[in-house]
Amino acid sequence: MTTRALRPELGCCYYPEHWPRARWAEDARAMAAAGLSWVRIGEFAWARLEPRPGELHFDWLDEAIATLGAAGLRVVLGTPTATPPRWMIDRHPDMLALDAAGRPRRFGSRRHYCFSHEGYRAEAVRITRLLAERYGANPHVAAWQTDNEYGCHDTTLSYSPAASRAFRRWCEARYGTIDALNEAWGNVFWSMDYASFDEIELPNLTVTEPNPAHSLAFRRFSSDQVVRFNRAQVEAIREHSAAPILHNYMGRITDFDHFALGADLDIATWDSYPLGFLEDRVEADAAHRMRFARQGDPDFQAFHHDLYRAVGRGRMWVMEQQPGPVNWAPFNPAPLPGMVRLWTWEAIAHGAEVVSYFRWRQLPFAQEQMHAGLLRPDGAEAPGLAEAREVARELAETGAIETARAPVALIFDYDADWAWTIQPHGAGNSYFGLVFTVYRALRALGLSIDILPASARDFSAYRLIAAPGLMHVPDDLGHALARADALVLAGPRTGAKTAEGAIPLPLPPALPGLDVTVARVDSPRPSPGVALVGGGTMGRYIEELETGPEARVLERLANGAPALVAQGNWRYLAGWPDAAAARRLVRGICAEAGLETLELPDGLRCRLAGGRRFWFNYDASPVAFAGRTLPPAGVLIEDAS
Amino acid sequence: MTTRALRPELGCCYYPEHWPRARWAEDARAMAAAGLSWVRIGEFAWARLEPRPGELHFDWLDEAIATLGAAGLRVVLGTPTATPPRWMIDRHPDMLALDAAGRPRRFGSRRHYCFSHEGYRAEAVRITRLLAERYGANPHVAAWQTDNEYGCHDTTLSYSPAASRAFRRWCEARYGTIDALNEAWGNVFWSMDYASFDEIELPNLTVTEPNPAHSLAFRRFSSDQVVRFNRAQVEAIREHSAAPILHNYMGRITDFDHFALGADLDIATWDSYPLGFLEDRVEADAAHRMRFARQGDPDFQAFHHDLYRAVGRGRMWVMEQQPGPVNWAPFNPAPLPGMVRLWTWEAIAHGAEVVSYFRWRQLPFAQEQMHAGLLRPDGAEAPGLAEAREVARELAETGAIETARAPVALIFDYDADWAWTIQPHGAGNSYFGLVFTVYRALRALGLSIDILPASARDFSAYRLIAAPGLMHVPDDLGHALARADALVLAGPRTGAKTAEGAIPLPLPPALPGLDVTVARVDSPRPSPGVALVGGGTMGRYIEELETGPEARVLERLANGAPALVAQGNWRYLAGWPDAAAARRLVRGICAEAGLETLELPDGLRCRLAGGRRFWFNYDASPVAFAGRTLPPAGVLIEDAS
Amino acid sequence: MTTRALRPELGCCYYPEHWPRARWAEDARAMAAAGLSWVRIGEFAWARLEPRPGELHFDWLDEAIATLGAAGLRVVLGTPTATPPRWMIDRHPDMLALDAAGRPRRFGSRRHYCFSHEGYRAEAVRITRLLAERYGANPHVAAWQTDNEYGCHDTTLSYSPAASRAFRRWCEARYGTIDALNEAWGNVFWSMDYASFDEIELPNLTVTEPNPAHSLAFRRFSSDQVVRFNRAQVEAIREHSAAPILHNYMGRITDFDHFALGADLDIATWDSYPLGFLEDRVEADAAHRMRFARQGDPDFQAFHHDLYRAVGRGRMWVMEQQPGPVNWAPFNPAPLPGMVRLWTWEAIAHGAEVVSYFRWRQLPFAQEQMHAGLLRPDGAEAPGLAEAREVARELAETGAIETARAPVALIFDYDADWAWTIQPHGAGNSYFGLVFTVYRALRALGLSIDILPASARDFSAYRLIAAPGLMHVPDDLGHALARADALVLAGPRTGAKTAEGAIPLPLPPALPGLDVTVARVDSPRPSPGVALVGGGTMGRYIEELETGPEARVLERLANGAPALVAQGNWRYLAGWPDAAAARRLVRGICAEAGLETLELPDGLRCRLAGGRRFWFNYDASPVAFAGRTLPPAGVLIEDAS
Ligand SMILES: [Zn+2]
Ligand SMILES: [Zn+2]
Ligand SMILES: [Zn+2]
């Protein structure tokens, strides 16, 4: 990831098949006039491309691409594999996923397929290849998108016969012999030994919880199946096109490894719905939800921008940006005026090359009829369009934005997420929740952050590396962290498990150069938790640490137990801190690391990028900070060089 | 609906098959002595009428009817089709409904049949015809009841193969061609196009939500299946009997169209369980539930009386009146003394011709053994009987009660209810909830209300017509409302959808003579909601309105947006008001309409009927109002001519 | 139950198959050195005993037993039938239980079998017999355990075809003719009559609730199936061994009759997890859960000790004692230092002959890897071991502990529990909850309690007998209670049902010598409930009583209704009291009974046994009482003779 000068652009998602052909040119002109350069199309259009098996209708798509291109727009062409047509189910009746209760997940919406079904994968490659052949050299097709939001609607895990068969083969490939698998999983416990791979079932519908090693293997397998499904499409496209290939990940979907999938792609894009996410996937109390109901959580989008910048190895887009109220959250408020602009600028400040609004025009029928677009269903402008146009104008004035390496690295690991999901040990505990607690603390201190995968080994750019909750720490990662020039914030649960999800011996965290042992685990209710001497509390997950003579206890719980331990460059956190404790402890470590921090109010956030500092006010009231005043939804770009 | 002079009567529900024959005559005498004139029997007795297929035992029913008739009681004879005997399942193993998860809903309680099963429908007609042939001319059988509480226990919707087959044919009949259906539903979205009607599945077990148009069609179909099932019985009875035919609807069951079903019947009756309903189907906070725990909600029964008076085209009974604690709610408190009398009088004030208590005697065994009757299980009098006897005495003194047309009409539309259920857009939103908010505000202002179906076109009797949330407004209804002499309270969501559940173009509400456009929808959390300038709030569902030059904004939200807009006789409400706002806004519209209103305390309610004003105190403490004082559970009948 | 002098001993649960053989001797020595005398092994080891059908490997178990025995330990050998190996499912694919939704409960954890499956029962007997033949005369095998925690993970009730077949035969055996069954269940209601036993289905997946008599029969049948399954193993062991046979019951599992099962065994043992239970099965508010989070509920363990002392006809062990944090509760805090010792002493004070910790060493893999042992996963000592060692030392000093008969008897009846579960009549009501309310009140008054089954007829030892909520009171029990020298605390719901779950006539409670009739039942919300004149409230379930001339009303509700009625030795409670009311009313009855009571603070409890009074401080702060001061987790043993 080297620094680059970006010229960020805007775009939108468009469905020519939903509108009369007569309207296409007008829409295209209006997009361009609003300052949009990119348009994504095609990703749900299979039934119109191939209404009956083998009967292909590309003419309309030819024309749509030509029309959009003629208006100066570059096209992202999506493969339509998230929505196989109805006839596909008749050809492959067993292609549907089964849910954990064993029920088929049927046709009638989208994502109705099991990643492990060979027949459907072949069909997906077939339609992808047909598209690549036809449009691979089309001058307007400037990028490809595979499928749509893999894993959305809980579709990564399938308990179908196809998944069961594939899982057995996956286990065989991983473990070689059934004895090795029995040993790795610890199947001696509760007489769970298998005599052959063909005896293995999927870990659902068991009487009580299945072996966590079994569940972990199934989650790894399921992630691999998504990667494999995607790779087959990528290969089909690459045969015929030099354009970059991307996928639009969905926020806080962690069931498959986005880094692994991203390795086959050129750019990572994601779908950012700040208000919907605050209602349906940000962990927050009612007061926080109320305060930010029309603005979105101040850190949730930033986290994902940083995450997908890593997934894309520096190249990140927002493929779907909420432009008004959505239809799918428990509550669907309209954004505060200015927020569409703010969200767009925040993405850009985090390195987005393109921010594309979903969708160009609100469709008056079907499932998303209540989902706002840049245009209303009647074609009039919706409030979001003016804000997009404003950003386009501002971007033209702002010129190039340099990408920046942050001084702080945060490791995010999908495998760790699965291990936490399988063994949260306390109700409501999640890896994402813990990592986000640390992320929020860093950001509230005014810091910019790079997210890294657990495969990172070069940490030379950083002064602080945070790896909380990283369940399994490969040996060479541990050593790379121990050798880093940066301070390393680890724990709780960093290194808590072997690669097979067992407790390692010697006991965790077993990090090189850190003479600390987790003697016991305590998972009290999150509130009130256990007080820290210096303020704030720990709850949810607390580790009782034994510390060696060279380990210094920097903080203690009120009961005297170590809460934060230092040795060498390690800073080991013994538990899950509440927001106050997290901020205080992280502030101290930053000071040690020589990082300058700010004390930002709750609604104010900033990011340094390429000599500029971008400020964002997520509050519905003005905020003053160190001589600046930002209005509600305010964006401020300062020279910081 | 013309004014009539009623001589209201009392009755009860009785199950001769549960008691020794020796007891029947004594029970009959006691009923008559208590002032009851009607007795409903037979509706769950199939297994005793036909213990084995074709083996008919009518003798006991002959005797029961004769015995009851000899005591001067008129009999309502129920068809026993809600409880097919066990042998029926062996004859028609596929007659069971399937729930949305695909599980059979089996024998062992009641309502274990799918309305779409042709074989079972034929059996239901067969037993009905046998009963009609035998008792159609019986002088004591003065009315017929079809089945029992259609739709209760979520039985309207079935996902069985029989339902699937019938739904395909229903779609074919409605849409003609599959292309027309694809177009009507907007199946181009997410590649949901069908190539033939035989590809259509029921809208359950989809990966994420099914197309709302698909769901709406399925709900309309399901309602039609209930109507068709009922009609077959009605036709069988009509061949042999001139007695009126009725059905006992259940409170707040909205899954089928009661107006459509009622069109085939002579009288609408309903089952009124004020305390059970407050616990299990009235939307209320804990304080309200606590305050009225032993009295029932002050408006819920009145709403249903008014609704079923409309369903019965003026003829309404309460077929099952709660006489004491029930057994089936989460909590089952005993009524405050006096409430059985109050509930009975409230029904009468709303036009009930008969109020029949469920049940005569508490049965000591089986599912309802903890459900009170007028007699205890040991045959002693339960407290409800004295109150029934008191009403009988009072009725004799009161003489004829004239039915009355109310000055206010409220449109209630089952189709709108389904559309809201499919797309609530905010958690907890429901059509019933919105309509009931308006109903409660009207009633708290002392007004009497007529409920009308959406098929009403003659509004000449009314000064105010309320049609909140009426999702689809047929063109001629819109014009009829616009031409009415009354003010029309519309919105939110009135006219929000086409007949196929899409957003219409031009945008809603598109009401004739109302220059208002819903530019955007906002669905914030219900509390705190958004403040109104004049007090109270709107939440749940708020429409951002664009208003034309002739539209006057009568009320604004604190943010300046229109909250109530007037043009011609239209009064358009931009959102879902809380109780305070609803009362205030409705009060203002009533004043404009020249309607005199009262400011009733929360527990006090009244109704004007035929020159009398009936007052009801739902509170557990005395209430004073304008010179009157009513004791707890007090009923006061004033001359109001 | 005569008084005996016990020499309580300690033990632990051990899984030699989980550890290298080389470790066994060291572990055995360490156990003995810590003061443990007993070790339970083998109960999940089937896959290592018989890895393939018929291929038996007893050598390792021979060696394990020899090694443990050589260290002076006595072995409890468990039958491994809770964990049939994977190959068993291939031999008996239909052996799995089905849940109430009809889904199989599959292999992959434990307890994956249906008690009604004949084939599996034969396999269970086969492996049991093989073990009994081989180890029946082994000098180190000093006791046998059948299976493990019957009923845990909701495994008593199975809706499998095997269960269905067996239930039909059970019904036939119980009722003789189908007409008798129809009559007994009241199947005339809702036309539920059967024509033959083969028409009976299990009471799941019905449209609304099934007949409570049907459900009650199914629960009795299901309990009988557990008893029958266990008896087959007991018989196989008894052929070859004279050692006592026991089973380890799980706390608050009430789905089968522990007294009935216990009648076939020599000793009752139970598994005591105070912290896990407080989180997942004690009914308590958040403040109580928080206060005792690291100590456990002060009465829950005592209740079970008293219960299982009765189940074991005087002989009781704790087979699994929580020694540190567990892994399976919603939250898993570490115990307050001292609690492992306190729990152990409390068991001993209640008559435990052995307290055995689960488990010797924490296993680093599989489902229970986060469950603490006396050793850590790395073999180092966990905090619990020092406390166990301390108890061992103290026991040696204390000498024999005499068992004691308590002055108060409390009847606990599994059949009543099922009847309440089927008809709670108010949300959250349970038999266990009501009985535990009375138990807690008695214990807060410093009393020791004996629990008795409903089959008890000799009450000569007691001054007070409590039988709240005892749904069905057999005639001879009623007379035995009426004749007792003790006061009898009955109600609410004592005698409320016939043996078939119907309301009896004459009406309840129909207790000899008590002229009280339950005229009506009121089930208001538990809070605020209805005030008592003397303080506290009743809620959940309140009976309106008619009292005869000789019945004295000792307490009234604020509305004047009787709340506590006395006649002869009966004291009949008309409702479910809150904690304050329960304590006050029970105190008054104790005073009448001549029982001396103490007013213990919430965290302090005591028990009198054999001339000693044992005091326990469950609070996390010191408690002072009548001149004594106990530190947190303090245990005090006083001479009380
Ligand atoms: Zn999307
Ligand atoms: Zn009913
Ligand atoms: Zn256990």
Q: What's the confidence (pLDDT) of residue C243?
A: 98
Q: Are residues A530 and A615 both part of a single domain? A: no
- Give me B488's structure tokens: 């029309």
Q: Dump pLDDT digits (tens) for B295-341.
A: 999 999 999 999 999 999 999 999 999 999 999 999 999 999 999 99
CB contact under 8 A, A383 and B520: yes
Q: What's the confidence (pLDDT) of residue B339?
A: 98
Q: What's the confidence (pLDDT) of residue C568?
A: 98
CB contact under 8 A, C364 and A194: no
Q: How many other C-beta atoms lie within 10 A of the C-beta of residue A580?
A: 14
Q: How far is it, in rounded angstroms, from Cα A429 to Cα A91?
A: 42
CA of B422 to the centre of ligand 1 (A): 20
**Is residue B526 predicted with pLDDT exceeding 80?**
yes
* Distances, alpha carbon B260 to alpha carbons B99, B235, B249, B256, B314, in Å: 24, 15, 13, 8, 15
Q: Looking at residue C189, what DSSP letter applies?
A: G
CA of C377 to the centre of ligand 3 (A): 18
Residues of A that are catalytic: 149, 320
Mutate to test the interface with A, among B159, B167, B181, B191 (most CBs of A within 10 A): B191
CB contact under 8 A, B370 and C189: no
How many domains does one find in chain C? 3
B422 contacts on A by Cβ (under 8 Å): none
Task: Give the gap in angstroms from C-alpha A46 to the nearest C-alpha of chain B.
Answer: 6
From C344, C377, C402, give the residue that closes a domain. Answer: C402
Q: Are A443 and A297 in contact (CB under 8 A)?
A: no
Determine the Cα angle at C591 with ends C586 and C593, to 5°.
Answer: 95
- Give me A574's structure tokens: 């013994």
- Give me B23's structure tokens: 């007891």
Residue C352 lies in a domain: yes
Q: How far is it, in rounded angstroms, from Cα A555 to Cα A587?
A: 13
**Is residue C404 predicted with pLDDT exceeding 90?**
no
- The values of phi and psi at residue B592, to 5°, are -60, -40
Residue A92 lies in a domain: no
Q: What's the confidence (pLDDT) of residue A125?
A: 98
- B183 Cβ contact list (under 8 Å, min separation 6): none
Residues of chain A with pLDDT under 70: 1-2
C426 contacts on B by Cβ (under 8 Å): 330-332
- The region, left, alpha or beta by phi > 0 then psi within -120 to 50, assigned to residue C108 is left
Q: Are residues B94 and B222 both part of a single domain? A: yes
Q: Are residues C492 and C373 both part of a single domain? A: no
First to last CA, chain B: 21
Q: Dump pLDDT digits (tens) for B170-205.
A: 999 999 999 999 999 999 999 999 999 999 999 999
CA of C30 to the centre of ligand 3 (A): 22
β-pairing, B570-573 vs C401-402, is: unpaired
Comparing CA positions, the residue from C610, C607, C606 lying closest to residue C630 is C606
- Residue B328's H or E segment, with its range, is none
A103 contacts on C by Cβ (under 8 Å): none
Q: Are residues B577 and B620 both part of a single domain? A: no
CA of C466 to the centre of ligand 2 (A): 38
For residue B451, the cross-strand partners are B410
Residue A497 lies in a domain: yes
Number of alpha helices (DSSP H) and beta strands (DSSP E) in chain A: 18, 26
Residue B189 lies in a domain: no
Query: Which ipTM score applies to this complex?
Result: 0.97
- A393 Cβ contact list (under 8 Å, min separation 6): A35
Q: What's the confidence (pLDDT) of residue A528?
A: 87
Amino acid residing at C436: F
Q: What's the confidence (pLDDT) of residue B2?
A: 60
Output the CA torsion sign for A344, A345, A347, A348: positive
**Is residue C635 predicted with pLDDT exceeding 90?**
yes
Residue A216 lies in a domain: no
Of these residues, B9, B43, B50, B320, which one is catalytic? B320
CB contact under 8 A, A378 and B506: yes
Dihedral in degrees, nearest 10, Cα atoms A409, A414, A420, A422: 180
Q: How far is it, in rounded angstroms, from Cα B602 to Cα C520?
A: 29
- Give me A585's structure tokens: 């402890």
**Is residue C640 predicted with pLDDT exceeding 90?**
no
Q: Are residues C462 and C587 both part of a single domain? A: yes
Q: What's the confidence (pLDDT) of residue A404?
A: 81
- C396 Cβ contact list (under 8 Å, min separation 6): C35
Size of interface A-B (CB pairs under 8 A): 166
CB contact under 8 A, A520 and C325: yes
Q: What's the confidence (pLDDT) of residue C2?
A: 60
Task: Give the gap in angstroms from C-alpha B433 to the nearest C-alpha of chain A.
Answer: 17
- The values of phi and psi at residue B280, to 5°, are -115, -5
Q: Are B532 and B563 in contact (CB under 8 A)?
A: yes
- C483 Cβ contact list (under 8 Å, min separation 6): none
**Is residue B167 predicted with pLDDT exceeding 70?**
yes
Comparing CA positions, the residue from B360, B353, B254 lying closest to residue B28 is B360
C83 contacts on A by Cβ (under 8 Å): 190-192
Q: Are residues C467 and C381 both part of a single domain? A: no
Q: How far is it, in rounded angstroms, from Cα A191 to Cα A194?
A: 9
- Give me B374's structure tokens: 């007028």
**Alpha helices for B539-628 (secondary structure H):** 579-593
CA of B149 to the centre of ligand 2 (A): 7
Provide the 3-class DSSP secondary structure of residue C452: strand
SS3 letters across C50-73: CCECCECCCHHHHHHHHHHHHCCC
Q: How far is it, in rounded angstroms, from Cα B625 to Cα C547?
A: 40
Q: Are residues C612 and C561 both part of a single domain? A: no
Q: For the stretch B212-224, what's the b/e string if a residue is b when 16 or more beta carbons lie within 10 angstroms of its beta carbon?
A: bbbbbbbbbbbbb
Q: Are A112 and A106 in contact (CB under 8 A)?
A: yes
- The region, left, alpha or beta by phi > 0 then psi within -120 to 50, assigned to residue A330 is alpha
Q: How many residues does chain C have?
A: 641
Q: Are residues A620 and A471 both part of a single domain? A: no
Exposure on the CB side of residue B160, measured as CA atoms within 13 A? 25
The mean predicted confidence, pLDDT, of chain C is: 97
Q: Are A470 and A495 in contact (CB under 8 A)?
A: yes
Q: Dump pLDDT digits (tens) for C383-395.
A: 999 999 999 999 9
Which DSSP string corresponds to C263-297?
Answer: TT-SEEEEEE-HHHHHHHTS---HHHHHHTTTT--
CATH code for position A542: 3.40.50.880
- C451 Cβ contact list (under 8 Å, min separation 6): C303, C306, C307, C309, C310, C409, C410, C411, C412
Q: Dump pLDDT digits (tens) for B86-100.
A: 999 999 999 999 999
Q: How far is it, in rounded angstroms, from Cα B472 to Cα B208?
A: 25
Output the CA torsion sign for C137, C142, C148, C151: positive
Q: Are C264 and C110 in contact (CB under 8 A)?
A: no
Q: Are residues C396 and C433 both part of a single domain? A: no
List the shell of residues around ion ligand 2, using CB closer than 5 Å.
Answer: B 271, 320
- The values of phi and psi at residue C529, to 5°, are 70, -170
Q: How many residues does chain B have?
A: 641
Task: Give the gap in angstroms from C-alpha C300 to the nearest C-alpha of chain B.
Answer: 27
Residue B329 lies in a domain: no
Average pLDDT over residues B232-245: 98
For residue C638, the cross-strand partners are C613
Q: Are residues B306 and B418 both part of a single domain? A: no
Q: Please name the residue of chain C whose CA is at the shortest distance from the CA of residue A529.
A: C290
Provide the 3-class DSSP secondary structure of residue C129: helix
Mutate to test the interface with C, among A187, A193, A208 (most CBs of C within 10 A): A208
- Segment among A29-38, A403-412, B344-353, B492-501 with least mean pLDDT: A403-412
Residue A369 lies in a domain: no
Mutate to test the interface with A, among B189, B201, B545 (most CBs of A within 10 A): B189
Comparing CA positions, the residue from C278, C282, C333 lying closest to residue A529 is C333
Q: Are residues C509 and C613 both part of a single domain? A: no
* Distances, alpha carbon C43 to alpha carbons A137, A482, C312, in Å: 67, 45, 20
Q: What's the confidence (pLDDT) of residue A589?
A: 98
Residue A509, domain extent:
408-593
Does residue C114 have a known ligand-binding role? yes
Q: What's the confidence (pLDDT) of residue A2?
A: 60
B43 belongs to the catalytic site: no
Nearest ligand to the CA atom of B276: 2
Q: How far is it, in rounded angstroms, from Cα C526 to Cα C524?
A: 6
Comparing CA positions, the residue from C489, C522, C519 lying closest to residue C588 is C489
**Is residue B1 predicted with pLDDT exceeding 60?**
no
Residue A612 lies in a domain: yes
Q: Are residues B281 and B367 both part of a single domain? A: yes
Q: Are C622 and C631 in contact (CB under 8 A)?
A: yes
A108 closest CB neighbour out of B195, B201, B507: B201
Comparing CA positions, the residue from B455, B516, B454, B474 lying closest to residue B491 is B516
For residue B10, the cross-strand partners are B36, B355
CA of C606 to the centre of ligand 3 (A): 27
CB contact under 8 A, B108 and C203: yes
A18 contacts on B by Cβ (under 8 Å): 188-189
Q: Are C638 and C627 in contact (CB under 8 A)?
A: no
For residue A38, the cross-strand partners are A11, A74
Does residue C313 have a known ligand-binding role? no
From B402, B436, B464, give the residue that closes a domain. Answer: B402
CB contact under 8 A, A109 and B423: no
State CA A619 to chain mean position distance: 24
From C362, C384, C402, give the residue that closes a domain. Answer: C402
Q: Are C278 and C296 in contact (CB under 8 A)?
A: yes
Return the higher-pLDDT residue of C240 and B3.
C240
Of these residues, C123, C149, C279, C387, which one is catalytic? C149
Exposure on the CB side of residue A628, measured as CA atoms within 13 A? 20
Please report which confidence band the pLDDT of residue B4 belongs to, taking 50, 70 and 90 as the band edges.
confident
